Structure formats: structure tokens, C-alpha cells
Amino acid sequence: MPTITRNGVNIHYATDGEGPALLMLHPLPFDHTLYRYQIAHFSTWFKVIAVDLRGFGRSASPPMRYGLNDICDDALAVAKAEGVDQAIVLGTSIGSKAVMLMGLDHPDFCRAVIAVGAGNKPSAHHQSHIDGYMAGRENFHAKHLRSVVSPAFADSPLGAHLLATMLERGRALDMSGEGMARTVAAAHDRDLRPRLPGLKPPLLVLNGEFDNSLSGGTETVSLVPGARHRIVKNCGHACCLEDPQTFDEHVIAFLTDKGLMPGAR
């Protein structure tokens, strides 16, 4: 799988399919495989590029602090390496903040923005995540994974298996308090609300019914003219994993309406 190096930091990503580009940025504490269903489905029509954020998956965890701009610039560098000068950008949680920032700073690159969660300001919970990882990495990682899906999904055979798989992958990551502190700081380094009314690309916000970012997503939609909001029932924050069929249907309907779905009438 391909890797680029930007400012000395190795960034890993996966690609599948051909066609217009669909660039995906995952949430904490997952890696790009959170989008396993979307990669399989949307690669039918798109060139899907799914990036491992700094410190996750196979991407490096740099020892210095970094910000949301660095995450955006990593993704843009991946796109450039793949010969992509425009893309539909999709992100969840920290990924949603990054793709909204990309839409604000690079509107010509972003054909549309799909923000899952779409929290728009620093969270009051970020210090508890840092403290939890410092106290006991693996135990807190398991709790963190469960917290981003609904309890019913976490306790189902499929959900338990997928979360266990993510936990196994996470054992190789830098989830020390220091490593997580850098990532969490990047996720919470700015308040996007003052700029959101100026977001130019079409915006779709998706939230799970039990998503702890639902109020933030609702606020984001209220600030962006023409933004569309869809709720995925019976799901938590990671609704793309919990109910991929409904999630994908909302994305396809949005892209079709905006004339961005290949082959759609």
C-alpha cells in the first residue's frame, strides 16, 4: 500500500477503483479501515483514497505537536501524489473537522464536503481521553472504541468482531498519553463556527441518532447556507460502520442531487 513523506512524516493510504476522486479521513481511534464498506461500495464509481491520519494505521506518529492544518495538508499531499486536483472529501469526527477546513481553505479542490459528526468547536471531553490513555492504553482504547458506536451494535456479534479487530490493529499504534495528546490537540485546535457561513462547496452532514456530536452537527448545518442534514437511526458516531447501507444511500442521494454521482441521471 502506498506511502508518502511530508516534512519527514510518513503518511500511509489505500486506494481502490477508478473515476472521480473520493478522499476519506477517518475518526479517532480508528484507521482507514473504518470505511471498509464504503471503500468496497464507492470504488464502483470513484477512485477512493482512504488516508491513515498521523499516528494511526501505518502512518507515523511524529514527536512534535501538530494541528488540523497539518492533517489537511497531509491529505492534500496524498491527493497530489495520486494526480488528483479535485475530490469529494468525506471525514468523520476529527476527519469531519479536517474536511470542513479543507472546504474553507481549498474550495476549488473540494467538489463537495461530507462531514460525519461535524462537530465544529473544541470538545469538553478531550482531556479525559488524554488522561484515559495515560492511565491505561489498551483498556481505555477498548472503552473509546465502544463509545463511538451504539451499545446495541457494540454488543452484537458483528459489532463485537469489528471492534475487536480495531483493538488488535491499535496495539501497534502510539497510544501513549503523549501520542494521543498530540492527536487530540490537533482535533481541538480551533473553532470553525465563525468561518462556516463562508463554506462554498456543497455540504452534507451525517449523524447517528445516538451520536454525541449530534448537537454540533445540527449547529453546523444551521451555519452553512444550503447544507443538508441526515440522521442515521439507531446508530452512534461511527454510523458508516454500523449501518453502511443507509449511510451509503444518503451519500449517493446527495451526490446525485448535486450532479456528482457518476452514471446517475
pLDDT at 18: 95
pLDDT at 172: 62
Q: Give the three-state DSSP class for 33.
A: helix
Average pLDDT of each block of 10 consecutive residues along the chain (265 residues)? 86 95 92 95 97 84 80 95 97 93 97 91 68 67 85 94 85 59 70 94 97 92 96 95 97 97 74
Rounded to whole angstroms, the Cα distance separating 23 from 42 reads 11
Do 69 and 81 touch, CB atoms closer than 8 A?
A: no
Question: Which domains, and CATH codes, for the chain?
Answer: 3-125+183-257 (3.40.50.1820)
In degrees, to the nearest 5, what angle opens at C-alpha 206 toward C-alphas 205 and 209?
135
pLDDT at 214: 93
pLDDT at 133: 67
pLDDT at 265: 47
pLDDT at 134: 67
Do 100 and 199 touch, CB atoms closer than 8 A?
A: yes
Cα 143 from chain centroid (whole Å): 19
